[in-house]
Amino acid sequence: MIFAARMFLEPAYKSQRSGWIEVICGSMFSGKTEELIRRLKRARIANQKVEIFKPSKDTRYDERKVVSHDENALLSKPILSSKELLAIQEDTEVVGIDEAQFFDVQLPEICQELAVKGKRIIIAGLDMDFRGQPFGPMPALMAVAEYITKVHAICPHCGNLATHSYRLSEENETIVLGEKDKYEPRCRLCFTMGAILQFK
């Protein structure tokens, strides 16, 4: 089976009267932040004013930078609440938000408010938690977004597309920060097989 990947290209509508919302979602290690950084860099190449935000609780790679697993990075502003997004500069044209699943439930409403003001909002986040359940405000964000891109990792056990983030540790909290030491991407079937695959 052949899967064709389509690169997201910025839409351009002559009659566009407002901004819009783009959501990049998927499992861990699927390239969400990498795609977010790619789009934000393209906006800067187009001489657009860009502001980038991340939840202050995400300190895995850097306290202030948005960093992909491939170590590409952009300077960002860590914030505690989605309401802080309303303080962006008036001439900002593009707003980037990473790790959106960690934000509060007001994030979709805030993003819609900014879009109505003409801002292009680009959001990246996990669509499911380690239990395989919808994560934080992500379902609501996808419901109100004009554009949704689902990216995939590769399951290390079978080589199929990975859609789930399997937690390798025994912690039960919904939010546990970690990388390959605590998580691995898995396809649907390997995810349901659970810990038995760790002993192969």
> Any idea which residues carry the catalytic annotation?
99
Chain segment 73-121, per-residue pLDDT in tens: 678 889 999 999 999 999 999 999 999 999 999 999 999 999 999 999 9
Q: What total number of domains does the chain contain?
A: 1
The answer to the question of residue 135 being in a domain is yes
The answer to the question of residue 88 being in a domain is yes
Tell me, what's the pLDDT at 179? Answer: 67
pLDDT truncated to tens, each residue of the chain (200 aa)? 444 456 677 776 656 667 999 999 999 999 999 999 999 999 999 999 999 999 987 766 555 555 555 556 678 889 999 999 999 999 999 999 999 999 999 999 999 999 999 999 999 999 999 999 999 999 999 999 999 999 999 999 999 999 999 999 888 888 887 767 789 999 999 999 987 666 45
The answer to the question of residue 170 being in a domain is no
The answer to the question of residue 167 being in a domain is no
The answer to the question of residue 139 being in a domain is yes
Domain hosting residue 78, numbered range: 20-151
Tell me, what's the pLDDT at 101? Answer: 96
The answer to the question of residue 54 being in a domain is yes
The answer to the question of residue 164 being in a domain is no
- Give buried/exposed letters for 87-109 (b at 16+ CB in 10 A, else e): ebeeebbbbbbbbbbbbeeebbe
The answer to the question of residue 196 being in a domain is no
Q: What CATH number is given to the structural domain containing 109?
A: 3.40.50.300
Tell me, what's the pLDDT at 68? Answer: 54
Tell me, what's the pLDDT at 1? Answer: 43
